[in-house]
Amino acid sequence: MRTPIIAGNWKLNMNPEQTAEFVASIKNELPESSKVESVICAPAVDLDALKKAAEGSELHVGAENAYFETEGAFTGETSPKVLNEMGIDYCIIGHSERREYFHETDEDINKKAKVLFANNVTPIVCCGESLETREANKQEEWVVGQIKADLDGLTAEQISNLVIAYEPIWAIGTGKTASSEQAEEMCKTIRETVKDLYDDETAENVRIQYGGSVNPANVKELMGKPNIDGGLVGGASLKPDSYLALVNYQD
């Protein structure tokens, strides 16, 4: 059985003080990690405060991005090696905002995945199509292409341990949500792609999240689908009550 994983993506929000206050308000009400894995992915400037505040709780800590080099003359970037030294569990890579605003390519994301694994940080690899691609009925072709490129050269063991987040771009921050059927259809396609690239066992092991305006009102329906193992949540993860409702969706 795959353990469900609900990960908040705070994007460019929160300062260290707000981070500590947020964690203090939720840390005693999180589900056991064996039941649902609760994750917060925060800006780099908040990671130290987040890690310290989460100590002794069920909360797992993630970064929102990292570079594909561990050190050197790369001003403004975040080192996977340092994330590991800090005890960071996860790192989002390939988010549509990184692809669009910072022109990251599948090649970049693939290199990031490899160096994150080399430094014992689990990647959350994002994929998803634009509204134009979906309206042209080419969404499966697009996402399968992303998955093949992003995972190229990774081992079956690595794939079994990473997280894939399907985020249709047209549903991110728009208030629109893919129907549970649309989300399930694409998550199933992603799992079948992993099966074609690797094997049945690897496909059954990999956890696939849905992201795109996930909130307490729709999380239970989405999580009820057989190929959806979690949510990558933006705005709804910024308020303690909302975040707790998401991670405790089974109650």
Positions marked catalytic: 95, 167
Would you give the end-to-end CA distance of the chain in angstroms?
A: 19
Q: d(Cα 111, Cα 84) in Å, to the nearest integer?
A: 17
CB 5 within 8 A of CB 124: no
Kindly give the residue spans of alpha helices, DSSP state H, lying in 61-213.
Answer: 80-86, 96-101, 106-118, 131-135, 139-150, 156-161, 180-197, 200-205
CB 94 within 8 A of CB 104: yes
Residue 111 token pair: 């290199």
Q: d(Cα 249, Cα 209) in Å, to the nearest integer?
A: 15
